[in-house]
Structure 1
Amino acid sequence: MSFTVDFYEESRKNVRKTIVLVMVFLALMIAFGLIIDLIFGILPVFTFVFLAIALVQTLISLSSGKDIVLKSVKAREARTDDPEERQLRNIVDELSLAAGMAKPPEIYVIDDDSVINAFATGRKQENSVVCVTTGLLKSLDREETSGVIGHELSHIVNRDILLMTLISALLGAVVIVQSLA
């Protein structure tokens, strides 16, 4: 018995799950707004406020989420004059080509030698970013770094970055609504 994975179908499933997640979240925000409006007898004030917060937070996250994340971790673009960062660029280029990506993601670095970490962010493949710490570059050899980058590229190819961007936006909306209460 052989087992094969249709990655295109998996990608479509991820998009469908993301849409369902956003719709469920919006429905919950409307429901919470309606409950508060009914309790205070001011229908539909809170419903519209909660829905507006959710929509604005989602739109901001989709349009600027990558930039917000990179700024929040103080990431900078990888330098071409640094040998470790140049090797990182080569690894990302090679693995992006092997993964069938139209273009490699942008590469950012966080200046932190105490942590070995990496992440991918962005809305879709065309505007994606791979970010690593200097601790990762200094501590791992080329093969280990390739494994980490391959993992991050799989998040990009499978559109996990879209899901995480939306989850972050939705969590942000919940925090905003909670702070209003």
Structure 2
Amino acid sequence: DRVCDLLADEKRKIYVIGGRMSDTLALHLSRHLRQIRSKVFHVPADPEIWPEYLLRMHTRDVLFIVDFRRYQSSLSTLAQKAIEARNVQVVLMTDQWLSPISRQASEVLAVPIDSGTLWDSYTGALALLEALLTRIAEENWEQTKTRIEQWDSVRMDFGEHKDD
């Protein structure tokens, strides 16, 4: 509930970033969340660009980080700077072993990723993101519906097909 409330609060800007492999989940979240509400930004993986995003952040904004094992120390540094310099709320999606960012985050979503094979599975993480998005969209469906209709209308101006 708390994470959904943070992500749905239109007074807050939402910044989303993931690790080397998990950024695909972060991108998925940011693309869908942008259709539900405004002021959602996917932070690029390149740390050279991060100062621009840090300078945009303000108190009460949310930095949503997806960080699974083989944790990236650069993401931990970003979280620390965002908290200390900008006083943002950090929401972390991580695995059952908990990213070091969990010590700094105001909210932690831990999901199992061990698949019993050489590869970790992000299926549970994707399902959780989909559940969060659904709850946020349905919480204020009329506003969400209007934004999606406007989004699709603008997309069509660029030659995109409505059924994509």
Q: Could you say which structure has the greater relative contact order, defined with CA pairs below 8 angstroms and 6 or more residues apart?
A: 1
Q: Which of the pair is proportionally richer in helix?
A: 1
TM-score by length of 2: 0.29
Q: Which has the higher strand share?
A: 2
